[in-house]
A and B are shown apart, each in its own frame.
Chain A
Amino acid sequence: MEVNHTKSQINFTRNSLFEQGYLDEQFTQLEDLQDDANPNFVEEVVTLFFSDSTRLIRNVDTALENYPLDFCKLDDYMHQFMGSSSSIGAKKVKQECTQFQECCKARNAEGCIRAFQRVKQEHATLKRKLETYFQVSL
């Protein structure tokens, strides 16, 4: 059911995402790209990101099940993940990706697995929050 949120409420939600570190300045860039021709641009991009990143997550999960771990491949996946997360401004997700990459470099299998868990958590959290945000703002 759609609740008619006021503008200030929408802004509040949005701002809190920034303040809590879920989103960074790149997200603003996306918002700036939104115009009358593409009124739902941000949502479209975010949706695309989540569907694509889900695929990536699956790939990483699979790779993490194969021992010994192929750190190069994992690092590569994470590089991709980081690229797209950063392009939508997913700050926390990006940070966790960096952690993961550190573990890959250190060839720390345990660390990688744990780091990836966190990546997935942040990913899911952001997804939830953004979905909520889009529901109220659009």
Chain B
Amino acid sequence: MMPSSSGGSWKSSGAGAGDGGVPDQFPAGLRVLVVDDDPTCLMILEKMLRHCNYEVTKCNRAEVALSFLRENKNGFDVVISDVHMPDMDGFKLLEHIGLEMDLPVIMMSADDSKSVVMKGVTHGACDYLIKPVRIEALRNIWQHVVRKRKHEWKDFEPSASADEQKPPEEPDYSSSANEGHNWKSTKRRKDEEDEADERDDPSSLKKPRVVWSVELHQQFVAAVNQLGIDKAVPKKILERMNVPGLTRENVASHLQTFLPHNSKNLVQKYRLYLRRLSGSPLPGGMNVGFMGGPDAGYGSMSSLNGLDLQALSASGQLGQLPPQSLATLQAVALGRSNNSKSAIHVPVIDQRNIFSVENPKSRYSEVQSQHLNNSSKQINLLPGIPTNMEPKHFVSLQQSGQHSFGSMNHQILIQMGGQSQSQTQSQNQVQSNTNAHHGLRQPVLSNDMLTRGGVVDVSTSVYNPVVSVSQASSLVDFSMNHKTDSSGSSYPLGGSLGIPNVRATSSALQGDGNLDTKVSGRRIVPSYDVFNDLNQNREWGLQDVGLTFDQSPHLIQVGLDASSPLLLQHNHSSVSEMGGQNRNLASGKVIFSPGVEARTHHNGSNVGQQRNTYVKPESDTDGSFHNTLYSELYGQDDLLVAIMKQQQQGVGQPENEFGFDGYALDDLPV
């Protein structure tokens, strides 16, 4: 057991390190607080955790645990709590911790019924373990800590802000590659300029963290509900709350970080996120909020992704990512600037992906359920690579059920918002389809997003999986898939965000226009824009890709599914369609052929088409929630374009990488 000081140093050194800065001995010394009224379980857990070289504090009452946490603000890294406790419901404790300390909380119970697990997810647990707990399940809990930290780090990374707790939006924006600056102009158009203003101000980065007590939070929630999701802007919320000393920034930050369990809030967040992406200089700001929320604990999701990836890997689809690719992806995800790494080639249109999309989808659902039932299985598909499959992702999945796509898409959108709205869409779609796919697709997205500055978080649950998956799993997947791709086709995850994806997606986008009809409603309008923008920009190398954004909507779709993450990014619209329905895949096959041909034409012709089609976000099949989200998104076509442009600049798209020509779309079996 490491003394707390070492734990602290673990933390700080971790924070300082580049990638996540985990010290070598990590996760040894992880400071865990275990809360369970059952003395037998408590004793066993303590022993198990000690065997994992964690530093354990045990406590049999929730109130005591809370006071421990309050007295030692930074004294713990993760909390494990039982659900059924006599003095306080475990979920209540979870809420308190999420609000006040924002630590990852893992729930446990002998009860494995879906409703309870769901409750854990919606309340923001980052994982849910079924009793009896095995030591294997405990060994991996560090992933939740790293994940949460990474979200925070991403925010600051560029700005090197040492304050991990700082409000997400600010550090992200300022730190992320200065790309946000360009967005300022577009941001002005946003409704929430006030919010954007907050973000813009670097000095606001280091705002003291407001402790959102339960009461305060309830006031906040009441205010939001009174205003209505659509109107709940920080300014108005603040007015309604009427809390002296509370600033609009506090509220805005809380809005970001607090991940509401209901979809409405998600919409709101997404909306904000999107706005932010469009206009605010802080590309990732929103993200942080989402991810940083209590929902960060959806470890299950990660497992989901992990499972998906595994499934995919097993199926040989993901297979061969070279380690360096994965690392690259990760780095990208982390916001590194190694974007141009070609290692992360994410073949937008991986043949395998395309066709395998169908499978992943089903797999995804399975995984989901598996995940739910097997909380202890939060496997990290990529050991050492924290997947951002945050609970958010999970939540989103949950929320939308099978519609996870929708929600995911949203999230992705949101995240992508920074990078390319289309991406998110595609991601969403991808996500829903299958983690596996997402993994593939996502990497592209996530990388970008990450580099962007923590955009990833925005989508919260949905996003996470996408992003994280992409980062870790997706990246891996991608790399695996792409290994076979010619280097040209690799998707520079880091910089090019979407470019590679764009390729795939672009084609998708291209098709999107046409796809629109197909899209069940996820239309991610922004994606169109992105693509258009992408297509139009030679720099993006889309052209090389030749994905041809033709109208071959099919093509795009297919590509989307396959390379889901990629597609998502670029073709939000297309992706959404794709994501939402794996069915597209089936059609995708067919589509590809057209796409292939379209390749020749890319650039320009396609672009136009997409735009039109996408703009209809509302048909989201998932529900109004999505629609709302999308509608907002879609209104930002210009922004997307602008954003894409920005991205281009920022990422230095590897034009050559788009050598989709080398991608051999032609090889795609039709």
Contacts and interface: CB of A to CB of B under 8 A. Distances in A.
A110 to B, nearest CB: 25
A88 B47 CA distance: 13
A134 to B, nearest CB: 16
A29 B104 CA distance: 26
A41 interface: yes
Contact of A84 (B38, B47, B51, B134): B38
A52 B40 contact: yes
A70 B44 CA distance: 31
Contacts of A6: none
Interface stretch (A9-17, A42-50, A122-130): A42-50
A131 to B, nearest CB: 16
A87 B41 contact: yes
B41 A84 contact: yes
Contact of B43 (A26, A45, A79, A89): A45
Nearest to B45: A87
B110 interface: yes
A76 B89 CA distance: 13
A80 interface: yes
Contacts of B51: 33
**Residue of B38, B39, B84, B131 contacting most chain A CB atoms (<10 Å):** B38
B525 interface: no
A20 interface: no
A89 B111 CA distance: 16
B652 to A, nearest CB: 52
A26 B135 contact: no
B133 interface: yes
B2 to A, nearest CB: 15
A32 interface: yes
A21 interface: no
Given A29-B135, A33-B135, A49 B47 contact: no
Nearest to A83: B110
A83 B39 contact: no
B132 interface: yes
Interface in A58-86: 76, 79-80, 82-84, 86
B84 A29 contact: no
Contact of B44 (A52, A76, A82, A87): A87
Nearest to B84: A79
A4 B325 CA distance: 60
**Residue of A76, A79, A80 contacting most chain B CB atoms (<10 Å):** A80
Contacts of A82: 110
B135 A84 contact: no
B505 to A, nearest CB: 47
A79 B39 CA distance: 14
B455 to A, nearest CB: 41
B38 A83 contact: yes
Please tell me the size bucket of the interface on A: 20 to 34
B48 interface: yes
A87 B131 contact: yes
**Residue of B39, B44, B134, B135 contacting most chain A CB atoms (<10 Å):** B44
A33 B48 contact: yes
A44 B111 CA distance: 25
Contact of A80 (B84, B134, B135): B84
B110 A33 contact: no
A48 B40 CA distance: 6
A64 B111 CA distance: 23
Contacts of A41: 47
A109 interface: no
B47 A86 contact: no
A86 B132 contact: yes
A111 B41 CA distance: 28
A8 interface: no
Interface string B595-606: 000000000000
A45 B111 contact: no
A83 B131 contact: yes
A113 interface: no
A38 B1 CA distance: 14
A52 to B, nearest CB: 5
**Residue of A30, A82, A87 contacting most chain B CB atoms (<10 Å):** A87
A93 B248 CA distance: 56
Contact of B38 (A29, A52, A89): A52
7 contacts: A29-B48, A33-B51, A48-B40, A80-B37, A84-B40, A87-B41, A88-B40
Given A48-B43, A86-B110, 20 more contacts: A26-B134, A29-B134, A32-B135, A33-B44, A33-B47, A33-B48, A33-B135, A45-B43, A45-B47, A49-B40, A52-B39, A52-B40, A79-B84, A79-B110, A80-B84, A82-B110, A86-B132, A87-B40, A87-B44, A87-B131
Interface of B: 37-41, 43-44, 47-48, 51, 82, 84, 109-111, 131-135
Interface of A: 26, 29-30, 32-33, 38, 41, 44-45, 48-49, 52-53, 76, 79-80, 82-84, 86-89
Shortest 8 CB-CB contacts between residues of A and residues of B: A83-B110, A84-B40, A86-B132, A49-B40, A87-B132, A26-B132, A33-B47, A87-B41
